[in-house]
């Protein structure tokens, strides 16, 4: 089911980025804008969070429950940090005069929708991490049984790769 969900998200975001490219050909409704620094900070946090999730998995494989707990907790906190900096990035867009529903510029609507859709998927990932943390605190992950941790890690790493793709797309395609 996880791989099916990931495949659907790839198709969804592929469609969004394709629509962005097609819409950008209409120069009359397209504004150039600076990519907010909040998005860059959030990128650093989500990249670090993948490392902490890898640490949690490594700890589970080696029967180190405290390492699993610390790794998942740090991943969760970094995920909240990512979320915070997404909102900082949106505030920076508003300061630039780029709004979600701006009739004069479709580019603003796209950046809000693309980043907002990713954030919605990230919220799901945060819920998964909370459940994973609860299970880790109950010492449910052992070297012979850590499937839940592994699945949450796969989803989290996917969100990481997806965000890096989206940010690079917004930086280089605009």
Q: All domains of the chain, ordered by start, with CATH?
A: 34-173 (1.20.120.80)
Determine contact, residues 132/72, Cβ cutoff 8 Å: yes
In the chain, the percentage of residues whose pLDDT exceeds 90 is 78
Annotate 24-44 with b (16+ C-beta within 10 A) or e (fewer): eeeeeebeebeebebbebbbe
Average pLDDT over all residues of the chain: 93
Query: How large is the average pLDDT for residues 113-125?
Result: 96
pLDDT at 163 over 90: yes
pLDDT at 133 over 80: yes
Kindly report which listed range (1-5, 51-55, 97-101) carries the lowest average pLDDT score. 97-101
So what's the pLDDT on residue 28?
A: 66
What's the sign of the alpha-carbon dihedral 3, 48, 99, 108? negative
Could you give the count of Cα atoms lying within 13 Å of 85 in the half-sphere of its Cβ? 19
Task: Estimate to the nearest angstrom the gap between the alpha carbon of 116 and the chain centroid.
Answer: 10
- Report d(CA 124, CA 11) in Å as an integer: 18
pTM, full prediction: 0.92
């Amino acid at each position: 089911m996880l791989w099916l969900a990931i495949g659907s998200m790839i198709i969804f975001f592929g469609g969004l980025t394709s629509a962005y490219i097609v819409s950008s050909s209409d120069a009359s409704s397209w504004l150039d804008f600076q990519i907010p620094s909040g998005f860059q900070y959030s990128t650093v946090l989500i990249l670090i969070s993948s490392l902490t999730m890898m640490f949690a998995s490594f700890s589970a494989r080696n029967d180190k429950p405290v390492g699993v707990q610390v790794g998942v907790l740090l991943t969760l906190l970094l995920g909240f940090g990512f979320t915070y900096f997404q909102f900082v990035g949106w505030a920076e867009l508003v300061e630039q005069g780029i709004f979600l529903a701006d009739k004069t510029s479709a580019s603003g609507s796209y950046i809000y929708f693309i980043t907002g859709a990713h954030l919605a998927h990230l919220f799901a990932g945060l819920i998964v991490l909370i459940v994973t943390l609860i299970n880790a605190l109950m010492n449910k992950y052992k070297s012979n049984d850590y499937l839940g941790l592994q699945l949450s890690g796969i989803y989290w790493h996917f969100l990481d790769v997806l965000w890096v793709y989206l940010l690079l797309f917004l930086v280089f395609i605009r």
